[in-house]
């Protein structure tokens, strides 16, 4: 197995690895990538850490990042309109899912962009956008963080085993991190290159997802909604059929429900 280094990563010749930084240990690749983005680093800047000491997930949650995982952040300077930035989340999810299938892991996407195997999380994606001001000109960038539970045991992650899984556990052996990174960058690049054709990206998202058709619960604006996830809109919002009608969710955290898992919440739906 080849170690991840600027040289081995450079040999992949990926347009998403034009500038590469590799750290033994770093607080968070996301923070470092953002720092580089603000300083003007080009599209395709990749930050990798063997260990993160302050990895973070969505909604400000801590993200356990011990040795053996693939913890990366990418700086993207989309050529497409900034208004398309909100599409990066689902586009990246499709790329990451395809990369996992390529190495033999049959992962599915939980809306908007968690990667699960058998209901357990194997990978998380954090897409954040920002604007950099240079001489009065605004330049948009996005930082895309991907955390893959690769050569780890679920118990290494310090969360309940029933919630997480790892590539090692799913394949029964370790994966070459350079090969995993190659598959990841090549699939991300292919998907990001067709973000303008979002209908096609969402078609693949639909084929790879495990949320549509499920009963789900979401907490937003201080209330809890339950309903059935029926489809995505053209911009990737989740359509939830509740007893109050159809609700569009643009972001947030949903929980898949199983039969008999309903709360007695006043806003909870019936019949779904
Ligand atoms: C989530 O599911 O909540 C998103 C998790 C994203 C984790 C990755 S690991 C690499 C990058 N650096 C971070 O601090 N977070 C992201």
pLDDT digits (tens, 9 = 90+) for 152-185: 999 988 887 779 999 999 999 999 999 999 999 9
Does residue 69's CB lie within 6 angstroms of at least one atom of ligand 1?
Answer: no
* Cα–Cα dist 179/168, whole Å: 14
Nearest-atom number in ligand 1 for the CA of 123 is 2
Does residue 72's CB lie within 6 angstroms of at least one atom of ligand 1?
Answer: yes
Nearest-atom number in ligand 1 for the CA of 114 is 2
* Cα–Cα dist 149/258, whole Å: 25
Q: Which of 34, 37, 71 to mutate to test the pocket of ligand 1 (most atoms within 8 A of CB)?
A: 71
Burial class from Cβ neighbours inside 10 Å (0-12, 13-18, 19+) for residue 224 reads middle
Q: Does residue 50 have a cis bond before it (omega within 30 degrees)?
A: no
Burial class from Cβ neighbours inside 10 Å (0-12, 13-18, 19+) for residue 152 reads buried
Q: What is the Å distance from ligand 1's center to 255 Cα?
A: 19
Q: What is the Å distance from ligand 1's center to 1 Cα?
A: 24
- 265 has a pLDDT exceeding 50: no
pLDDT digits (tens, 9 = 90+) for 54-100: 999 988 899 999 999 999 999 998 776 666 778 999 999 999 999 99
The DSSP code for 79 is S
For the whole model, what pTM was predicted?
Answer: 0.92
Contact yes or no for 45/215 (Cβ under 8 A): no
Q: Which of 27, 31, 45, 57 to mutate to test the pocket of ligand 1 (most atoms within 8 A of CB)?
A: 57
Pairing of strands 254-256, 114-117: unpaired
- 262 has a pLDDT exceeding 70: no
Instruction: Identify the structural domains of the chain with CATH numbers, from first to last.
Output: 6-208 (3.30.930.10), 215-256 (2.30.30.100)
Determine which residue's CA is closest to atom 16 belonging to ligand 1: 145
Does residue 73's CB lie within 6 angstroms of at least one atom of ligand 1?
Answer: yes
Does residue 126's CB lie within 6 angstroms of at least one atom of ligand 1?
Answer: yes
Query: What is the pLDDT, as a whole number, of residue 175?
Result: 98
> Residue 272: how many CB atoms within 10 A of its CB?
18
Beta-strand runs (E) in 119-222 = 120-134, 137-148, 215-220
- 1 has a pLDDT exceeding 80: no
């Amino acid at each position: 197995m080849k170690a991840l280094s600027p040289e081995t990563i450079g040999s992949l010749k990926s347009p998403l690895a034009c500038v590469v930084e590799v750290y033994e240990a770093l607080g968070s690749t996301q923070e470092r990538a953002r720092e580089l983005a603000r300083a003007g680093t080009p599209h395709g800047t990749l930050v990798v850490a063997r260990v993160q000491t302050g990895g973070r997930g969505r909604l400000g949650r801590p993200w356990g990042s011990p040795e053996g995982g693939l913890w990366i952040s990418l700086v993207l300077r989309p050529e497409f309109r900034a208004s398309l930035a909100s599409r990066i989340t689902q586009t990246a999810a499709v790329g990451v899912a395809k990369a996992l299938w390529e190495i033999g892991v049959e992962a599915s996407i939980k809306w908007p962009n968690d990667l699960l195997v058998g209901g357990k999380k194997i990978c998380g994606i954090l897409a954040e956008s920002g604007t950099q001001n240079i001489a009065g000109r605004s330049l948009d960038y996005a930082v895309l963080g991907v955390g893959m539970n690769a050569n780890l045991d679920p118990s290494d992650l310090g969360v309940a085993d029933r919630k997480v899984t790892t590539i090692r556990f799913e394949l029964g052996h370790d994966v070459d991190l350079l090969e995993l990174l190659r598959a990841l960058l090549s699939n991300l690049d292919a998907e990001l290159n067709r973000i303008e054709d979002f209908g096609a990206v969402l078609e693949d998202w639909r084929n790879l997802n495990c949320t549509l058709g499920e009963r789900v619960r979401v907490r937003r604006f201080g209330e809890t909604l339950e309903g059935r996830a029926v489809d995505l809109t053209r911009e990737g919002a989740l359509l939830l059929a509740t007893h109050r009608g159809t609700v569009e969710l643009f972001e947030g955290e949903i929980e898949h429900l199983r039969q008999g898992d309903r709360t007695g919440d006043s806003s909870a739906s019936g019949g779904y």
